[in-house]
Amino acid sequence: MCRWMGYRGQPLPIETLLYKTKHSLIEQSRHARLGVETFNGDGFGVGWYTDASDTPGVYRSLMPAWGDHNLQSLAAHVVSPLFLAHVRATTGTPVQNTNCHPFRYENWLFVHNGAIENFHDLRRELVLAIDPSLYNVMEGSTDSETMFCLALTFGLRDDPITALERMAGFVEETGRRHGVAHPLQMSLGVSDGERLFAVRYSSTRQSRTLFTSAEPQTLRALYPGHELVEIIQDEDRAVVSEPLGDLPGVWTEVPEATVLTIQDGPDEQRAFQPRSPALAGAA
């Protein structure tokens, strides 16, 4: 079982959320508290946006994250308004950097927790559906990267939520055609550098957990004087697969089959509904 977190808000050193919270993602990679499997790291990754480059940065490593001095330096010096981090627990594909999340294409980043059931049987058919022009985007061998390339194929850059729904619909349809009852289990963090999309969905409707941070004003009321609470601003929002820290009221569970858009102005939340690619037309 993987873990991930996303942040969008005022520019913060990445370390603020990666290392400096109780139950931070790095800490979680040592001691998981929720989740179906005992948890250990098969690779860590973080992707971030800054003004310095048009392309988001990505750091991925197989080193134990808690002892990775390179990551510590990077997390202390990169100040970013939008980043995604991920700790991987392989479901079978090789332990290598190109199988670590986030996956990147142009200005997009993508992290996934969950799995495509029986991926090995479905893999070839799913990969064949990827647009030939995107074929070489794939550098690894995971179900997650395949989902990302399918979402790109189905229009992620034009209409992100619809594309993610088509991707989910296509994976479910393909899986069921191969006799898989519940083909898809996922929480997703996806970004174009402006918006942060968070999806919770599974074919069983018993999806991996997903949480968002409460409104900063709520947090300040609940925890006046708390170090992190004091620095957050109204637009700051985090999404996490497992709560960072123990404080009641800080984390709100994202409902089943939901997609969240964290953006300038009010965030949006709506039902996530896999779409049949057949009905999807041009896809």
Binding site for a copy of itself (CB under 8 A): 13, 29-31, 38, 40-42, 48, 50, 52-53, 55, 57-64, 66-70, 73-74, 76-79, 90, 93-98, 120, 123-124, 128, 132, 135-136, 138-141
Torsion of CA 117, 110, 26, 218, to 10 degrees: -110
| Residue 104: CB minimum distance to a copy of itself, A | 9
CB of 161 to a copy of itself, least distance (A): 27
Asked if 149 is an active-site residue, the reply is no
Rounded to whole angstroms, the Cα distance separating 109 from 189 reads 8
> Tokens 């997609």 belong to which residue?
259
Instruction: Quote the least distance from Cβ 142 to a copy of itself, whole Å.
Output: 11
Q: Which is nearer to a copy of itself, 12 or 167 (CB)?
A: 12
Which of 36, 279 has the CB closer to a copy of itself? 36
Q: Which is nearer to a copy of itself, 122 or 260 (CB)?
A: 122
* Nearest-approach distance from CB 45 to a copy of itself, in angstroms: 10
Burial call 204-224: b when 16+ CB within 10 Å, e when fewer: eeebbbbbbbbebeebeeebe
Q: Which helix (H) or strand (E) holds 9?
A: strand 3-13
Report d(CA 31, CA 40) in Å as an integer: 8
Sign of torsion over alpha carbons 118, 124, 125, 126: positive
CB distance 254 to 261 below 8 Å: no
Closest CB to a copy of itself among residues 77, 177: 77
User: By C-beta, is 138 or 280 nearer to a copy of itself?
Assistant: 138
Identify whether the C-beta of residue 88 lies closer than 8 Å to the C-beta of residue 43: yes
Q: Which residue has the tokens 């041009």?
A: 282
In the chain, the N- to C-terminal Cα span, in Å, equals 31
Token pair 């990679």: residue? 29
- Indicate the SS3 state at residue 237: strand
Check 1, 2, 5, 122 and give the catalytic one. Answer: 2
Tell me the closest approach of the beta carbon of residue 58 to a copy of itself, in angstroms.
Answer: 5
Closer by beta carbon to a copy of itself, 191 or else 202: 191
**Least distance in angstroms from the C-beta of 49 to a copy of itself:** 9
Amino acid at 249: G
Q: Which residues pair with 211 in a beta bridge?
A: 240, 253
Kindly list the catalytic residues.
2
